[in-house]
Structure 1
Amino acid sequence: MVSPAIALAFLPFVVTLLIRYRHYFRLFYRAVLVRRLQDYLTGVPQEERAFQYVLTHAIPGDPQHLLETFDHWSIHCEYLSNLGPQKAKILERLIYEKAPLTVLELGTYCGYATIVIAQALPLGARIYSVEMDTRKAAVAEKVIRLAGFDDDTVELIVGPSEDIIPQLKEKYGLLRADLVFMDHGIRGYLRDLQMLEAHDLLPEGATVLADNIIFPGAPRFLQYAKACGKYKWRVHRTSLPYFRGIPDGMAQLTYTGLQ
């Protein structure tokens, strides 16, 4: 047994730890514990629960209202790792600035970022969105169509990014990606960037925007982007969606094609 004196000695340290990392403890509680409990109680995956909420409360064909409904769910009901409004503004501003005609999205999840991109694209532009999880892809498909975007604007491709990227030209007709948005597993960021280069899918001036490069972080991806000499780069400092106390960032790369 630990003596009361020793326990009291450690108390200030524990309190300091709880205060300093309170946002991370809250994230763990909402993103892990609450989710697992609701999964067990309802028998319905979280993404499907979120869609049912959106279906009930959002206005069909109104992308902005749909995004706001997702935000309300994530703040007041259950945490959902969407792009969130703060990062959405960065992505939206970049699309308005670059006006890409072809966008490759790696990691569709529930379709939140897909809608952000789709509503900002110029007329005639198209998104190729890759999601490896079939269950999440099924939810994303319903969300994207509910927002009012059809196959001509958004083509949803189901499968691992490392399998899909080599097939993009011949099977899906994507000859070049003017903008690439990476929001899938961060361990795949560097691999997929190099695959895009190897398959000549990045034209000169193409933009790559990678999320979560600070939390949980993608150091090897950033190191490569800075050292390889092929990119101009910058980092947009922001925070984790719905958790302003947790710093995060998005890396913006511009492909120069130089070696």
Structure 2
Amino acid sequence: MTTRTWLITGATSGIGRALTERLLAAGDRVAATARKPERLGDLANQYGEQLWTAELDVTDVPQLRSVVDRAFAELGRIDVVVSNAGYGTFGAAEEFTDAQVAAQIATNLVAPIQLTRAVLPHLRAQGNGRVVQLSSAGGQVTFPGGNLYHATKWGVEGFFEALVGEVAPFGIGVTLVEPGISRTGFGTSLDIAPAMAAYAGTPIGQARPAMEAPEGVTANGPGDPEKIAGAIIASVAVEPAPRRIALGSDAYEWIHAGLTARLQELESAKELAHSTDLD
């Protein structure tokens, strides 16, 4: 059985925590980063040097680069980089404050790009490696109120799909992970925009009670974080790296319906598309 070294951002909760626990139990090494790495104290006590931790705010680019360089220097090599840190926002486009817009884009889109830029020189020097980016079913489909979150995930999808061809010559694989709603703390950590009266009777206003519920909108999701973590781990052994893995029955159904509708729309516009070519 191959032992690997993993770098995981956002390792203290949700899928990141599930991955960290499973990997350590299987004997792999984990470089776990988080804003509050002390929350991994129980695992550090149990696994000792098998777990490397560092404080990291992924939106702090100089700190991110420093942590990445230190992890590779101290651990010798890192086989798999999992870009997992992120959160969601909810609200109508005009309800968000400028600070909410900037923070969501910085965390969910700019940070994964900068993390990738930081790890690629090291992975190229090794001659191989795998980058796993947590996206979402919301990177393929959209729902009212998720506009800002969707913007970041659709952006992530474009960046990492293009990256596949760029880094393949260096033996580096790239996989986008698209979970549906899973029973993590994601739903309780939503950044919800202040409500505007104009949206009270709209789909966004009607969805607010569920989004603001103390137990979180993801409390009754079908996805099992442990099974999702297992599927991500298994994907790393697949060659070539799968470009995307949709995880969850809801993710599959939403993405299938969304892609089917988009293809039908494109096919209906075939004549129009061809009509705009030069004569």
What is the TM-score normalised by the length of structure 2? Answer: 0.43
What TM-score, normalized to structure 1? Answer: 0.46
